[in-house]
Structure 1
Amino acid sequence: MGGAAPSGVLSKALAVLQAFSVEDNTLGFAELQRRTGLPKGTLHRTLGDLVAARLLDRVQGRYRLSSLVFELGMRASVERGLLEVATPFMEDLYVRTHELVHLGIREGAEVVYVAKMGGHQQVDSPSRLGGRMPLHSTALGKVLLAHAPADVRESVLRRPLERRAPRTITNVDVLTRQLSDIAAKGVAFEYEESAVGIVCVASGIFGPSDEIVGAVSVTGPVHRFRPTRHANSIRAAAGGITATLGRREELLRH
């Protein structure tokens, strides 16, 4: 991940912060140097500055992002309003299904998980809060891709489609037909395409200009969860979030 070392104080600090991931939230000095490509002396000074600024915590000689980074992210997050509106609808979906409920947004060619709600019996899903998956391999992602701008869809469909599980759709023609069906019916299904044993149903959330701003889904194990039985519930939840966002936008205008 290293490559050319960044120049400038801010770019060096940013390189360090971006070295952390959802899976690797605590890193040692050697791994940070490998990921950033910064010289030892420079990295040592940058880490000291970030700890002093309370953007990193130093714990037993290793480093992790601080709670201040999370707080700043929540202040700046464009998803915060979406999350606040979506939460009651996600809770209702969980009560109805007792399965894992997700809220996701699109960034580039990936779906980013911004909320996750489930109980003790929830399915073992590969999703992580703040984690990412390719759009074509999940129900959430397929909804977001079906309603994305044409240039985004074309860009995804031009590239090789990564196989995340044996049943991941990697055939462009099959995926294209699915996206057309999703756009027409307002609901997407996933059958063990992101991971073996997992099935899912999702629907899109739209902004005031009818642009897609996110999607909500319910995920369960293949042996007990039937996505088609919950298509109406997921559409109703997504529609409720969309309508509430619209009312909130209208109030803010006046």
Structure 2
Amino acid sequence: MTVTATAGGTPGNAPAPISMIERMTVILDAFDPQTPSLSLLDLAERTGLPRSTLHRILDQMIRLRWLTHSTGSYRLGLRTLELGGRAAGHSEIRDVVTPLLHELCRRTGLAGHLAVLDGREVVFLDKAGGRCAAQLPTGLGVRLPAHTTAVGKAILATLDPGLVDSAYRGPLPLSTPRTLRTAADLRHELARIRQRDGLALDNEETLSGIRCVAAPLRGGGPATAALSVCGNHQAVDFKELAPLVRDLAGEAQRALFSRLQQRRVG
């Protein structure tokens, strides 16, 4: 929602925000899908806060990851996206996706994962696939670097590129010789994923000998989660699995949206 400042410097007819929580809320509300990047002047006009006060609060919000700053503009930070994912309800996502994931694993004989983004890591919410899955060091609550995994890259590709650039700078931690090495490598990989309608590939980047294909669960904005199928690199054919994973993600997203709608109506 955009807050419009009056000539007197306060937004509309609303009283000027006094507490730090009120000021932070007004700042976060200044961003919207049409204007994801705002300058200091933009924020001053939209919030009605004095520039000196605003600059001090913005510095604190950047330090706490509510916002990110580059080349004279401010954007929403990773913390807002992390809270958005939690608000979607990890348990609810798992309840909806798990039956579909288990069915796909039964059909393909591969392992399946469901994960969400938390900072620069993915957290696994579920794992399926019997003997194949047992061979992988993943499971409920396990964390892995997002840039090495198919699920992580599938989610990162749905985020604003400026936000990803601010979170990833310089060399990246390596898990295998095939892991993406630099922020530029990641940027190019995410561009390719967007061209493939969100389908991501882990080509032995997390574990040698293991390949994964993933797709994000998303509505109109950033993905709340991603799911993948994984297996021995010789058994995972991207062209064969890509449509299956994409269709599963679409079905899961529709089922999740339907459940949320029913809950609102109820």
TM-score, normalized by length of structure 1? 0.65
Alignment of 1:150-165 (within 5 A): 150-165=161-176
Partner AA of 2:157 in structure 1: A
Note the residue ranges of structure 2 that are not aligned, 5 or more in a row. Answer: 1-86
Match for 1:235 among 223, 246, 252? 246
**What is the distance in 1 between the residues matched to 2:134 and 2:177?**
18
Partner AA of 1:167 in structure 2: R
**What is the distance in 2 between the residues matched to 1:238 and 1:225?**
18
**What is the distance in 2 between the residues matched to 1:139 and 1:123?**
19
Match for 1:201 among 190, 213, 218? 213
Are the counterparts in 2 of residues 142 and 179 from structure 1 also a CA contact under 8 Å?
A: yes
After superposition, the Cα gap between the structure-2 partners of 1:152 and 1:127, relative to the gap in structure 1 and judged at 3 Å, is: farther
Are the counterparts in 1 of residues 170 and 183 from structure 2 also a CA contact under 8 Å?
A: no
Alignment of 1:48-197 (within 5 A): 78-122=89-133, 124-185=135-196, 186-197=198-209
Give SS of 1:212's match: coil
After superposition, the Cα gap between the structure-2 partners of 1:171 and 1:81, relative to the gap in structure 1 and judged at 3 Å, is: same
**What is the distance in 2 between the residues matched to 1:164 and 1:120?**
24
> Runs in 1 of length 4+ with deviation above 3 angstroms?
149-152
Question: Which deviations, in whole Å up to 9, do the C-alpha atoms of 1:118-175 show, x marking residues without a partner?
Answer: 1124473232320111111010110111112445411332143100111101133332
Give SS of 2:224's match: strand
Partner AA of 2:214 in structure 1: A
Give SS of 2:131's match: coil
Partner AA of 1:206 in structure 2: R
Match for 2:235 among 224, 232, 239? 224
**What is the distance in 2 between the residues matched to 1:150 and 1:191?**
22
> Percent of pairs identical after alignment?
33
**What is the distance in 1 between the residues matched to 2:147 and 2:94?**
23
Q: Please say which of residues 116-125 and 172-181 is displaced more in the overlay.
A: 116-125
1:245 to partner: Cα distance: 1.3
After superposition, the Cα gap between the structure-2 partners of 1:174 and 1:159, relative to the gap in structure 1 and judged at 3 Å, is: closer
Are the counterparts in 2 of residues 123 and 219 from structure 1 also a CA contact under 8 Å?
A: no
TM-score, normalized by length of structure 2? 0.62
1:224 to partner: Cα distance: 2.4
Matched residue count: 178
After superposition, the Cα gap between the structure-2 partners of 1:128 and 1:121, relative to the gap in structure 1 and judged at 3 Å, is: closer
Are the counterparts in 1 of residues 112 and 127 from structure 2 also a CA contact under 8 Å?
A: yes
Give SS of 1:120's match: helix
